[in-house]
Structure 1
Amino acid sequence: MNTFTKLVLGMMGRLRAKPAKGDAATSILLPPPEKHGGLPLMEALAIRHSSRDFAPDPLSMQLLSNLLWSAYGINRTDGGRTAPSALNAQEIDVFLALPSGAYRYDAAVNELHLVAASDLRRITGYQDFVDEAPLDLVYVADYTRMNLVPVGQRESYAAVAAGAITQNVYLFAASNGLATVIRAWIDRVAIADALGLTHDQQVLLSQTVGYTRTMT
């Protein structure tokens, strides 16, 4: 579906998900993340960039596990994460829009939990490339976890936390030959409805990840 059609449907409140491809498992246990390898940090920073040219090839379960751990996994015995959050609120949830359904990443058990048995990629952004890229990440703030943060500052705090996660994804992508781009031009209402979010949750950003089409 092209960008103009999505815009029109979005303005009409009729931007909808597609049926899932295959059966949507209620949960997916990911393999343990590999916490070694990839490019050195300075080399990854040197080639970090945004790309909007994605091949439809799916990521392997191992690569997906590594990606999610790098993005927002647990890296300490006290439950600390690979990305910071103010007062350790850990208010960001990472959702995945896959062809087989939409899932929430549970870092504590390294597992994906089904939230919608539909292909939500179409509604995670107005750009046409999101329809066929293998993975769209959606970052959602849960303000019920931010009781110690003044109400007027919660959105900005959460946005900073989500930004740190997106940069982790950028560096992982650069280090592992993947393409990615962060996107704020999204239909937050349509995404929230599709994910079944509550009024205490807010969609902040989306990020597409996959292989570069010209490299496959």
Structure 2
Amino acid sequence: MTTLTKLALGMMGRLRPKPARGAVAAQIALPPPHKEGGTPLMEALAERRSSREFAPDELPLQLLSDLLWAADGVNRAEGGRTAPSALDAQEIDVYVALPSGAYLYVAAAHALELVAASDMRRVTGYQDFVDKAPLDLVFIADHARMALVPVSQRESFASVAAGAISQNVYLFAASAGLATVIRAWIDREAIAQALGLGHDHQVLLSQTIGYPKKTE
């Protein structure tokens, strides 16, 4: 679907997901993440960049597991995460849009739970490349977890937390030879509707990840 078509459908409130492709699992148990090895930090920073060209190949389950743990997984026995959160509110939920459905990443269980049995990748952004890239992440703030944060500051606090998760994804992508790009040009209402979000939830950003597009 082209960008112009998406814009037109978005203006009419008719940007919708496609039917899921393949078997739809109610839960996906992720293998334990690999927490050793990888590219040294300074080299990963040197390679960190945005890319908007992706191969359609799906990521193996182990690579998806490592990616999600790096993004916002549990890295301490008391439940701390790989990304910071003010007052430890842990208000950001990471949703994963796959061809087989839209899933919520449950960090404590290191698993994916089905939210919508549809392929909502094209709903996660107006750019045409999001339709065919293997997965899109959507970062959503749950304001109900931010009771200790003044209402006027919740969006800024949550945006900082989402930015930290996004940078984790960027560094993992650089280390693993993947392509990624963060995106704010998104139809937040269409995403909220596709995921069945409540009024306490705020759609902040999307991020596309996949193998780099093969060159001839």
Q: TM-score, normalised on structure 1?
A: 0.99
The residue matched to 2:147 in structure 1 has which SS? coil
Measured against aligned partners, the alpha-carbon deviations of 1:31-82 in whole angstroms (never above 9, x if no partner) come to: 0000012100000000100000000000000000000000000000110000
* 2:99 equivalent to 1:99: yes
Which ranges of structure 1 fall in alignment gaps of 5 or more residues?
A: none
* Counterpart residue number, 2:61: 61
* Deviation for aligned residue 1:125: 0.3
* Counterpart residue number, 2:148: 148
* Counterpart residue number, 1:78: 78
Measured against aligned partners, the alpha-carbon deviations of 1:16-38 in whole angstroms (never above 9, x if no partner) come to: 10000012100000000000121
Amino acid at match of 2:4: F
* Counterpart residue number, 1:11: 11
- Following the alignment from structure 1 to structure 2, what is the Cα–Cα distance between the partners of residues 36 and 99? 29
Runs of 4+ in 1 over 3 A off after TM superposition: none
Amino acid at match of 1:67: L
- Following the alignment from structure 1 to structure 2, what is the Cα–Cα distance between the partners of residues 61 and 164? 23
- Following the alignment from structure 1 to structure 2, what is the Cα–Cα distance between the partners of residues 166 and 214? 24
- Fraction of identical pairs, as percent: 74
Amino acid at match of 2:34: E
Amino acid at match of 2:24: A
The residue matched to 1:214 in structure 2 has which SS? coil
- Following the alignment from structure 2 to structure 1, what is the Cα–Cα distance between the partners of residues 188 and 23? 26
Measured against aligned partners, the alpha-carbon deviations of 1:98-136 in whole angstroms (never above 9, x if no partner) come to: 000000000101110000000000100000000000000
- Following the alignment from structure 1 to structure 2, what is the Cα–Cα distance between the partners of residues 168 and 115? 24
Q: After superposition, where does 1:200-211 map in structure 2 within 5 Å? A: 200-211=200-211
Amino acid at match of 2:202: Q
* Counterpart residue number, 2:110: 110
* Deviation for aligned residue 1:214: 2.1
Which ranges of structure 2 fall in alignment gaps of 5 or more residues?
A: none
Amino acid at match of 1:106: V
The residue matched to 2:214 in structure 1 has which SS? helix
Measured against aligned partners, the alpha-carbon deviations of 1:137-156 in whole angstroms (never above 9, x if no partner) come to: 00000000000000000000
The residue matched to 1:154 in structure 2 has which SS? helix
* Counterpart residue number, 1:165: 165
Q: TM-score, normalised on structure 2?
A: 0.99
* Counterpart residue number, 2:49: 49
**Count of equivalent residues:** 216
